[in-house]
Structure 1
Amino acid sequence: MEQLLAAHPSSVPEPAPTTPRPRRRVAAWAAGLLVAVPTVVTGCRLLDTDALTPVPQALSFLPWLTVPAALAALLALTARRRLLAAWSVLVLLLTAWFTLPYGPDTTTARGPVVERLRVLAANVEFGEATDALVEAARRERPQLVYVSECDPACVRTLTGALGASLPHRAVVDGEGSTGSVILSAYPLTARPPIPAAMGMPGATALIGGRSVELRLAHPLPPIPRQVGAWQRELGRVADFAGAAHRAGGPVLIAGDFNASQDHAAFRAVLDTGRLHDAARLAGAARTPTWPRELPLPPYVQIDHVLVSDDFRVRGARFLDLRGSDHRAVLTALDLHAGR
């Protein structure tokens, strides 16, 4: 028998190469750990909730969670864990689906165009980027400028430098991050600000013969132990948007929302007021605006210009302002007659 085996070595099948079991266990554990965060975050997105810390913070990274979900799927396949691999693929597909732009890609504006305008929304970071904003406004010539974190010195600088082209303003006075101002080329009627820790001024502007409701949005950021306040303040923005929609006139809400399309509290503002993100309509959804001052480039869009169905969007650009950790949002809009 031994002679026969020696004479015919090819008759003995070689064992199939396998991944050693300890390696498969390590790969399976790694896959489970990698898919855990995308599972929780994508699950909350699916359930339309911002939940509790750390979910609201992690939702800002939702598009980037496709990377660990994909790695988890590969490791699970390597480990031959079919159930884990299927789960990882499902989470990957859901995460990828939620990276698509939120909401319709056009408005239902009717009637002739009564005014063409540019709107600039900027966070000047405690007034540090005021001079850069003056330069941008002189260069781009917007008719409306929404400025967050604009202290009294910032307001004085802006009104002194831009008063000829933007003579009207609505202000919430405050130091540091609490001050804000809307500068306008159109006559304004003051309206009560939206209650918040940081200034959210409001006004009604007469634009192209139409009364347009303006509000600057700047809710608290969703940092730990502040998520509830962030949700309440965005809820007040949604309440205003809903009331303005029921009133039936044009609405423009812009500013640093401290929220992206992946946050339920921000989507509620869009849905309650039937508003549209101008960047989305311009084909620039998810263009990151924050943070600018890290070694890595910005990763999330939290600065927005929201418009009612009375507007059409001709374009959107994002401007770097020296001294600010935010990129400014510049949109070109057409206001329609609505009939």
Structure 2
Amino acid sequence: MKPNTLLTSALWALLSPFAGWAVLRVAGWEPKLRWSQLVSFTPYAAAGSLVPLALALALRNRPATYAALVVGGLLASVVLPRAVPQGVPEAAGQPLRVMTANLRVGSVPAEALIGAVERSRPDVLTLQELTPDLAARLDRGGLRALLPYHLEQLGTAVYSRFPLRPGLGFAAGQWQHVGGLLTLPDGSEVDVVGVHACAPAGGWLAGCWAQSIRVLPPAVAKRPRVLAGDFNSTLDHAVLRELIATGYQDAASVTGKGLVMTWPYYGRSALVPKVAIDHVLASEGVVVRSFETLALPRTDHRATVTDLVLRRGA
């Protein structure tokens, strides 16, 4: 086989996995196996698709160049929009700051979390993997003085500066989500859900993962809704996109920070690819002002802090 023929064959072989990835991602088909995990890395696949394009250009192979442009364009079309800010519309209403943190089975020191709350001053804090021991240490450390209202289910908790009572319900013993109804100082109410979805592992767990997203409430409601926490899903998962399509905004994406990764960090090499699985979703009538992440010690997740405004009359 001639050298040029070998290079051409190698080029098409290199391009093929990216083409398959693009087709699966755009079609939204998620076969079992490990695709529900692999699809999380679509931003890296989009970047990697530049390699066969560069090689095709270098070899002056026109068919491969066109094919690589199509593949790269498909991947870019699903990744780049989340890195483009959509702009912050003018809105008068009640501000609401929401903070989320996965505590890695209670590993975060109580004083570190309380310090972060004191600095960030959230109105609502949702916690995942909160253990009874850490909850007791947080109470002794003064968290309840900062955020006196509290709901919890299966290690997921919602703390609030404002009055909070049980709201949307989830089957106890089955889902780690907790729903509350928040009453704001202007008298308006908002549904708040602290989210902790199953992990998208293989086998039967994949079913648990998808269903744990599907049980979350759609955005269509009489009241504004905010879902915040560890969704164990990225914007490349069809099940999360379907939830968002009911009328939610992903706070990171609309502020152009949808490629800011939130997991895994602690104990992992900087070379390990990171993904964005911690989200704040806001329904119609809620304006997203800003979205930031921050590091907490001894957890593999980044915490998030999101500024929202509930429009008057929403």
TM over 0.5: yes
Q: For residue 299 of structure 1, what is the amino acid of its counterpart?
A: K
Query: For 1:13-63, what per-residue CA distance to the aligned partner results, in whole angstroms no more than 9, with x for missing partners?
Result: xxxxxxxx5433432343233223322221122112333333222211111
Determine if the alignment matches structure 1 residue 43 to structure 2 residue 20: no
**Which 5+ residue runs of structure 1 have no aligned equivalent?**
1-20, 174-178
- Could you tell me whether the CA contact under 8 Å between 2:85 and 2:257 is conserved in 1? no
Q: Closer, same or farther in 2 for the Cα pair 1:281/1:154, shift >3 Å?
A: same
Report the Cα distance in structure 2 between the residues aligned to 1:220 and 1:130, rounded to whole angstroms: 24
Q: For residue 202 of structure 1, what is the amino acid of its counterpart?
A: G
SS in 2 for 1:163: helix
Determine if the alignment matches structure 1 residue 135 to structure 2 residue 115: yes
Query: For 1:257-296, what per-residue CA distance to the aligned partner results, in whole angstroms no more than 9, with x for missing partners?
Result: 1111111111111112x11111223332221111113212
Determine if the alignment matches structure 1 residue 200 to structure 2 residue 180: no
Q: For residue 305 of structure 2, what is the amino acid of its counterpart?
A: L
Q: Under a length normalisation based on structure 1, what TM-score does the superposition of the two structures give? A: 0.82
Equivalent residue in structure 2 for 1:162, among 143, 159, 162: 143
- Could you tell me whether the CA contact under 8 Å between 2:251 and 2:280 is conserved in 1? yes
Report the Cα distance in structure 1 between the residues aligned to 2:9 and 2:169, rounded to whole angstroms: 52
Equivalent residue in structure 2 for 1:271, among 242, 245, 248: 245
Determine if the alignment matches structure 1 residue 94 to structure 2 residue 74: yes
Could you tell me how far 1:205 is from its partner in structure 2?
Answer: 0.8
- Could you tell me whether the CA contact under 8 Å between 1:287 and 1:301 is conserved in 2? yes
Could you tell me how far 1:107 is from its partner in structure 2?
Answer: 7.8
Report the Cα distance in structure 1 between the residues aligned to 2:88 and 2:254, rounded to whole angstroms: 8
Report the Cα distance in structure 1 between the residues aligned to 2:187 and 2:210, rounded to whole angstroms: 35
Determine if the alignment matches structure 1 residue 291 to structure 2 residue 264: yes
The corresponding residue for 2:218 is 241
| Counterpart mapping for 1:170-249 below 5 A | 170-173=151-154, 179-195=155-171, 197=174, 199-207=176-184, 208-225=186-203, 226-237=205-216, 240-242=217-219, 245=220, 247-249=221-223
* Rg larger for: 1
Report the Cα distance in structure 2 between the residues aligned to 1:271 and 1:287, rounded to whole angstroms: 21
**Which 5+ residue runs of structure 2 have no aligned equivalent?**
none
Report the Cα distance in structure 2 between the residues aligned to 1:23 and 1:130, rounded to whole angstroms: 60
The corresponding residue for 1:311 is 286
The corresponding residue for 1:257 is 231
Q: Closer, same or farther in 2 for the Cα pair 1:79/1:146, shift >3 Å?
A: same
Moved more, 304-313 or 141-150: 304-313
SS in 2 for 1:241: coil
Could you tell me how far 1:201 is from its partner in structure 2?
Answer: 0.8
Size of the aligned set, in residue pairs, is 306
- Could you tell me whether the CA contact under 8 Å between 1:151 and 1:180 is conserved in 2? no
Report the Cα distance in structure 2 between the residues aligned to 1:30 and 1:193, rounded to whole angstroms: 54
Q: Closer, same or farther in 2 for the Cα pair 1:63/1:263, shift >3 Å?
A: same
Percent of pairs with identical residues = 28
Report the Cα distance in structure 2 between the residues aligned to 1:324 and 1:120, rounded to whole angstroms: 15
Moved more, 290-299 or 58-67: 290-299
Equivalent residue in structure 2 for 1:60, among 31, 37, 40: 40
